[in-house]
Amino acid sequence: MVNIFALILAIAAVVSGLCWGYRRKSRSRLHTDAVSTKKRLKLLPAWVDTLASLFPLLAVVLLIRSFGWEPFRIPSGSMMPTLLTGDLVLADKYSYGLKNPFNQKLLFATGHPKRGDIAIFAFPEDESQLYIKRVIGLPGDRIVFDPVNQQLSIFPACQQTEHCAPPLSVKYSALVPGEFVESAGAHPQFYSVPLGDKSPVGTRLQMRTENLSGVIHRILQNPHAIVNSRQFFQQPGQTPAEWIVPAKSYFMMGDNRNNSYDSRYWGFVPERNLVGKAVAIWFSVEKQEGQWPTGTRLNRIGRID
């Protein structure tokens, strides 16, 4: 997978660096050949001088974006209520290893995803698209999803010759009405409507907490949605709605469980596709998927819980 934006940014940094070097070299001759250098500087095209001035900024942006933090926009409601459409998040790219910014090849490892992380990754079926989901299953885990109760069971990796550990503790609170309403239609929109207020046409989503062995987060469910396990990704050798996570791969799910196209439907995320860990919301705009922003949500700025 080639990161086109990173490639363009790198080319711009190199070109501006060459202009910066040429300008610096020309000015260094002022002490030995002042007259000719002044003439040379006057003949220096304005665009060359402008690009040279941009070099320090471009170099810093390239380094930070490649090996530090990169901004991403949340385009849909699949991670509600944790992340909303219009949130702009920062991804910590150091958490999952430093990679070549152009082809995402691992340079050296610094860590691996933990269960409950919110990860940004290249979609395995189209690596030009970036997805954001929660890490549910680690390499070797057996994941079981109950389509009726919409609850998870997770069994840690275990070889037949080993004494297998008990299932991971996954606890759920009771379902209660939430603040979000899902509109009807093929392309639903999501609105925040306080409890007690008249709701627009649609379904009030229910909310509860999911506890993945200490990682507690809220999830949404549509009380009228029917989960058809026949639409799930069928892993060879496994029964429907059960998966064993391959080595160097991860099982991802969205927090908006009935409105998330995730590993249940298309399989696993290879470790090489990981881009970074979402750690903070740095800005947020009020918007719906496919529509223009209508305001700002400054109260959402901060670390992601």
Residues belonging to the active site: 78, 133
Q: Are 284 and 301 in contact (CB under 8 A)?
A: yes
Distance of CA 4 to the CA centre of its chain: 18
Omega before 81 within 30 of 0, i.e. cis: yes
Can you tell me the distance from the alpha carbon of 263 to that of 247, in angstroms, rounded to the nearest whole number? 15
Q: Are 90 and 71 in contact (CB under 8 A)?
A: yes
Can you tell me the distance from the alpha carbon of 143 to that of 249, in angstroms, rounded to the nearest whole number? 13
Can you tell me the distance from the alpha carbon of 218 to that of 213, in angstroms, rounded to the nearest whole number? 14
Tokens 């940014």 belong to residue: 9
Can you tell me the distance from the alpha carbon of 121 to that of 114, in angstroms, rounded to the nearest whole number? 14
